[in-house]
Structure 1
Amino acid sequence: MSARKAVAAALCLSLALAPGCAAPPRAPGGGAGREARGMGGGVTDRDVEVAESLGAPEDILAAMRRGEWPTARSKRNVRVAEAAEDHLSGRYGERFRATRVLVSTGFMPEPDTITCAVETGEHAGETCVASVSYAEEPVWADDYLYLRLHGEYERKLGDIARDAFGDLPEGSWVMEAKMLDYQYPAATPDAQGGAREVAPDASLEDAGTVVDGYLWVFVSPEHQLAEGDFDARAGRVRDALDALDVHVYWEVSQITRPLDGAEFTMEWSRYAEYSWNSTGVFRGDE
């Protein structure tokens, strides 16, 4: 499977699970059918505030203002949202406000997914999505790591491409460097079968095996490179990515399909035929 196809498959899977993000690993023996913590007690002022932020209908809010939970579902939605706000705030030291909740209600347990607005810090105004599965303890994942690191990740991959191909005429090549907007778990399995914690302030270097993304480079059919020249440039990309120590899919291709009046763009190049091609996957400093 080519790097393009592998990344496309990963993206399709993530979109099928939750918009813009991948689901966290399911907790062994658990699921969202397990009772979440913090479900006890009557309606509080915070419960009403969170329900308003979630866009609850007025009849739900009216019942809550009277101190009544109108349904078990509304209570679960609110308390799961509060758990996400508390988890994210405790982990990252910023304030988060839940705006949407999707709780698992089917026979097959799936994680609960909570969308939050980031209200303080460097990423205030952006959106953070968290997911939680339930076993003996909640198992959390979120995409705040993406918010923190994607700019640096994409800039470094772009610099690698420009170093190898930047001397070619303008418009003769295109590239796309992307860190995937996944919900990354707070801990990942290690080689010994245990868990390796991902620090909330982890640098790109520290999170190299956790993050995921890709670099695609395409050379125009109207600017054909000799095989030796192409191989040398692709080798520079490969070596630089290897030294970067991050998880990345990469592919460099010399397109042969004629443009026939089309504009040479990333979208046009994505599935075009090629004469020379180099591809691979680096998994970080393992």
Structure 2
Amino acid sequence: MCALITILIALGLPLLFPERGLAAEGYLTFSPQVSNNAILAGVGVVVAVVVVIALTQIYSRMARKRQRAPAKGAQKKKGGDFKKQAAKLGFKIAEIKTMRILAAKIAPQDPDSVLSTDAGRERLSADVWERISKREREVKLLQGIQDKLKLMRDNQLHERATVRVETDLAVWIVKKADVEEDVEDMEEVEEELFTDVEQVSGKLMDLSEGGAAVIVELEAGTDDLVELWSADADIWIPPITAGVLNVQRGRGGKPPIFHLHFIDPPLVELRAAIQTLQRTSGMRMA
């Protein structure tokens, strides 16, 4: 294109200045009539160049559009064929849209073959099953998160402190009875929660302001409520209500480990007990 413009300009220069090519240097003269003709000729050359450039660009664009048009038409036709195939097989509109996306990922070059061949349908079925399994794992994970959040909301659980003290302190622990939410006299219910309930002895593994881990044989499970207190006369831990987060099975015939979250614990007494345990642990290490 640049070469064509250069040639046209070179051809137009003699038309602009015809006398310049014939007269000797220093003897160039212009008559008014000749100058006007030269200017008109030069303008004509410039216009011709612009027209040629414009026509060339228009032609190039039209050629590119003609090349792309068959490809787009083929793609639309393929998409329409897939929808028709799926509709004949009994799939609904929403299902067809999802299947079309999956088919394009399985066979990008020819999505229609996914439904039209046995091998394609097998690949689609395997892909769908894999996605279902993945979603089920995600749902199970989210359900576990929701259950823990519900337990914290319903029982006003405190976050376990990051600093814990390891101990083998003896404790008593009992399981709280189930209570209906619409009872009229909650004070009477609280008094009867531990009536005729046998306390079980256990041992703390660790203790913090937010919870504890207890080794104990107890008929309780996740989301149950329990109450524990110290069985040691030297280190006093008042009765604390706790929610069972999970139960870890013991190894080698040992009792299970209950991981507990405290509910509104008496922090003053609890902190005093933790400090005493820390001092005792330090003395043992020394």
Which TM bucket (shorter chain)? under 0.3
TM-score under structure 2 normalisation?
0.25
Larger Rg: 2
Q: Which of the pair is proportionally richer in strand?
A: 1
Q: Which has the higher contact order (CA 8 A, sep 6+)?
A: 1
TM-score under structure 1 normalisation?
0.25
